[in-house]
Structure 1
Amino acid sequence: MKSTRTVSMLAAVAAVACMTTFAVVPAAQAADQAGTVTSSRSFPSYSVARKDLTVEATSTSAEADSNWGSTENLNVPHTQSQAEKDAAAAEKAAQEQAAREQAEAAAAASRSAERQTLSQSSDSDSSASSDSTSSGTTISAPAANASADALVAYATQFVGYPYVSGGNTPNGWDCSGFVQYVFAQFGISLPRTSGEQATVGTAVASIADAKPGDILANGTHAAIYIGNGLVINAMNPVQGTQICGLSVFYSSYSIRRVL
């Protein structure tokens, strides 16, 4: 009887345990379905604490009057802006223009002084064997024979004589005025302008066929050929009358022979 009662009690306990198990599982599943996640993570334990945790935060002291420099002491290259470059270029061009104007003014003043001296001097005899310019330079009379070599020899003595726009005498001439004057001393009358002088006499085919004494001319310049690719000509107010190469002609030209 007693053993029967004991078995009944054990069975009741087992039944209660089973009911408890089934009650817990659905509750866990319900919690999982509601989006609740439970996790656990274990970390290793440390028995020794780290030292020198602030080693990277150490600082260095400096004297209160220490000089660490400033941005003014930095050697930084200076790059000009486009506006600064344009301003510098304009200033340089202005300086060059001023220098040219000063040189031209000096040349004009020199020519003016020469003309004033000429007006105060007495006229020379046109039949004399030699003439003198206002600067006192003696001009040799042209040779009696009107040969090309004589004309070139006569023309080359005028190197350094002044350039005067519109002039046609040793006291000042322009390019065509110089050519006209030289040929006039040999009894040859030429037109006044370079464009007209480019049509006189006989045409020469090329510079390879040119001879000393030929006239080289176009609409803007005229010169006398002296051989070896050189001409004598009145160039400009600064350079005056000079011997130079054919590069003095910036465009094509005619070669004319009158002797």
Structure 2
Amino acid sequence: MLVAVAAIGATCAVMAPLATADDVETVTSSRSFPKVTTVKKDLFAEATSTEVDADADWGGIESLDVPQTKSAAEIAAEEQAAAEEEARQAAAAAAAASRSAERDSLSSGTSATTTTVTPPASATGASLASYATQFVGAPYAWGGSTPSGWDCSGFVMYVFAQFGVSLPHSSGAMMSVGSPVGSLAEAQPGDIITNSGHAAIYIGNGMVVNALNVGQGTQITSVSTSFYGSYAIRRVL
């Protein structure tokens, strides 16, 4: 046994040098980047603000005057409004020219419809009513008393003056001229229908001829349309 042990020891002594570190090639490595020990949080969080230096120069872009564009609908609306305004001005000019022509016509002795105004034939109520209707279309003018422009009492005063009757230029004062008529059923053509705010000449069948306002001028209307509330009926002729 001693011989066997000695033989094994000799074999290990011979083979040991075969496995030394000098005879084995080894591979070593080292880090090529710094070690990170801090864990970043909220990697997907979006930035909510940006700081800019107060003296930063952006080439004046913040002061650019950017023109504002308009939609097709806005442009169309503006064009339509302009066209409507142009039409309104043209209509106003035409109306003014028409009124001027009416005044010229009346001042030359014709009515607004170019019908010659016939002088009164006789001083009767019927003749007065017929004469008054010839001025339908004559213009209205506050304080006026001629065919070129009159108000309600100015119209009545002018018509009666052509029959030799002098009346006050006031609808309220006309409530006391002539003699009273009890009701509209008893009224006759040529009677004056008046109250403190309006005056007209009765032409029969519940109708009057009267100067209404600037827009309507002299017109034939019903008594109920021209008078609201009470009124007086006076007979002068």
TM-score by length of 1: 0.51
* Maintained 8 Å contact 2:193/2:231: yes
- Counterpart position of 2:9: none
Query: What is aligned with 2:227?
Result: 249
Per the TM alignment, residue 137 of structure 1 is displaced from its structure 2 partner at its CA by: 4.9
Aligned letter for 2:172? G
Is the contact between residue 211 and residue 217 of structure 2 (CA under 8 Å) also seen in structure 1? yes
Once the two structures are superposed, what CA deviation does each residue of 1:162-197 show, in whole Å capped at 9, x if it has no partner?
Answer: 111111111111100110000000001111110011
1:108-257 to 2 correspondences below 5 Å:
109-110=96-97, 113-114=100-101, 117=104, 131-132=109-110, 137-143=115-121, 145-247=122-224, 248-257=226-235
Cα root mean square deviation, aligned: 3.1
Q: How does 1:95-106 map to 2 (within 5 A)?
A: none
Give the C-alpha shift of residue 157 in structure 1. 0.9
Task: Say which SS state the counterpart of residue 155 (structure 2) adopts.
Answer: helix
Please state whether the residue corresponding to 1:150 is helix, strand or coil.
helix
Contact 2:111 2:135 in 1 (8 A): no
CA contact (8 A) 2:145 2:154 kept: yes
Q: How does 1:3-152 map to 2 (within 5 A)?
A: 109-110=96-97, 113-114=100-101, 117=104, 131-132=109-110, 137-143=115-121, 145-152=122-129
Identity across aligned pairs (percent)? 59
* Distance in structure 2 (CA, Å) of the matches to 1:176 and 1:211: 19
1:27-47 CA-partner distances (Å, limit 9, x unpaired): xxxxxxxxxxxxxxxxxxxxx
Please give the alpha-carbon distance, in whole angstroms, between the structure 1 residues aligned to 2:120 and 2:230.
Answer: 31
- AA aligned to 1:163 is Y
- Displacement of 1:159: 1.1
Distance in 2 (CA, whole Å) between partners of 1:166 and 1:108 is 22
Q: CA deviation at 1:209?
A: 1.1
Structure 1: segments with no counterpart, 5+ residues: 1-101, 125-130
Q: Residue 138 of structure 1: SS of its match in structure 2?
A: coil
Query: What are the ranges of 5 or more consecutive residues in structure 2 without an aligned counterpart?
Result: 1-88
8 Å CA contact retained: 2:193, 2:200: yes
Distance 1:135 1:245 in 2: 21
Q: How many residues align?
A: 149
Once the two structures are superposed, what CA deviation does each residue of 1:218-258 show, in whole Å capped at 9, x if it has no partner? 11000001111111101111111111111210121100000
Distance 2:93 2:182 in 1: 41
Q: CA deviation at 1:160?
A: 1.2
Residues 107/158 of structure 1: CA separation in 2 closer, same or farther (3 Å cut)? farther
